[in-house]
Amino acid sequence: MSYRERIGAQLADLKLPGAMEALDGILARIDGGELAGADAIEALLGSQIELRNQRRLQTAMRSSRLPAIKTLADFDFTFQPSIKREQIESLHQLGFVERKENVIFLGPPGVGKTHLALSLAVATAQGGRRIYYGSLADLIDSLEEAQTSGRLNQRLKTLTYPALLVVDEIGYLPITRNGAMLFFQLMSRRYEHGSTVLTSNKGFEEWGSIFGDDVMASALIDRLLHHCHIVNIRGNSYRMKNHTELYKTLNYESEDLQTHGKTTRTRRRKETATT
Ligand SMILES: Nc1ncnc2c1ncn2[C@@H]1O[C@H](COP(=O)(O)OP(=O)(O)O)[C@@H](O)[C@H]1O
Ligand SMILES: [Mg+2]
């Protein structure tokens, strides 16, 4: 039996399909002198880990309500200079999840708050931990629904269980007093129990009016901030980046219209004249 056959049989025995899939390519690179020794072992094991992480993410996507897969690799730091790259990279090492700390992304619309919250959730899922995603409004809706049907405790448990919960879009939609109380209960349960990543377009000083109650909002902020990393993003909307380009194009077009407008108008008048 050749090396290839023996290693292939071992990988099959251990049920490592990712490594098996990569084996031929890695052996070819070893033959080609591109890869040797420990690098080859690392590449083989790395292929298996990649497949496992991919599967973990697929499983998480089915149950976590994650709206999209966003990654740190897709994030353009040059567009958002107010963000400290080292801080974001360090958060993606997920020590904060182990320590059950929170992360809050604050900033105006389009600066990448949801993107970074999602990429932290993706990394957590790939690490094999449970995640869950919801906008504040959706989470409160689900809590109110559970309350009406007498299953609030169950729902609170479900939302307390994940190692990482994303609470997106605090401040976009008004919430009822009952909704605010339910959310407060959820955050009290999660406090020192699991990490929560929150995003808001409003500063903390405005959270009182979002939650309709200054006292509750400050008790909430107090718990959230106890073990917390705050990422304040000051910058332009990434969505507007494309719009700015579009806007420029439109502007050029309207300039074109201005220069050609006369002829168009004259032509139109002529057409009217003939009909
Ligand atoms: N710095 C960036 N690099 C790459 N894509 C970005 C960046 N910032 C935002 N985006 C993208 O722009 C869109 C809007 O960003 P999002 O995270 O939803 O903004 P926010 O939640 O702050 O309103 C998303 O599709 C996101 O992936
Ligand atoms: Mg957002």
250: tokens are 């439109």
Q: Which atom of ligand 1 is nearest to the CA of 118?
A: 17
Nearest residue by C-alpha to atom 8 in ligand 1: 112
Residue 230 near residue 106 (C-beta atoms within 8 A): yes
**Could you say which ligand is closest to the alpha carbon of residue 111?**
1
Closest listed ligand to the CA of 115: 1
Query: Ligand 2 centre and the CA of 70: distance in Å?
Result: 12
Low-confidence ranges of the chain (pLDDT < 50): 259-275
Determine which helix (DSSP H) or strand (DSSP E) holds 133, and give its type and residue range: strand 131-135
pLDDT of residue 174: 87
Q: Is 113 in the pocket of ligand 1 (CB under 6 A)?
A: yes
Q: What whole-number distance in Å separates Cα of residue 174 and Cα of residue 170?
A: 9
**CATH 3.40.50.300 residue ranges for the chain:** 72-232
CA of 185 to the centre of ligand 1 (A): 30
Environment class of 272 (CB within 10 Å of its CB; exposed 0-12, middle 13-18, buried 19+): exposed
Ligand 1 atom 1: residue of nearest CA: 76
Atom 27 of ligand 1: nearest residue by CA position: 115
- Estimate to the nearest angstrom the gap between the alpha carbon of 28 and the chain centroid: 37
Ligand 1 within 6 A of CB of 55: no
Q: Is 79 touching ligand 1 by the criterion CB < 6 Å?
A: yes
Q: How far apart are CA 147 and CA 154, in angstroms?
A: 10
Which residue in the block uniquely carries the two structure tokens 């201005």? 258
Q: What is the CATH number of domain 72-232?
A: 3.40.50.300
DSSP alpha helices (H): ranges in 3-151? 3-13, 17-31, 37-64, 85-91, 95-98, 113-126, 136-148
Residue type for position 2: S
Distance CA 232, CA 5 (A): 54
Torsion of CA 22, 28, 34, 35, to 10 degrees: 50
Rounded to the nearest 10°, the torsion over CA 177, 182, 188, 189 is: 180
Q: Whose alpha carbon is nearest atom 14 of ligand 1?
A: 110
Burial status of residue 95 (CB atoms within 10 A of its CB: 0-12, 13-18, 19 or more)? exposed
70 CA closest ligand 1 atom index:
27
By three-state DSSP, how is residue 111 classified? coil
Does residue 159 contact residue 132 with C-beta atoms inside 8 Å? Answer: yes
Alpha-carbon gap, residue 259 to 109, rounded angstroms = 36
Q: Which ligand is nearest to the CA of 106?
A: 1
Please say whether the beta carbons of 143 and 182 come within 8 A.
yes
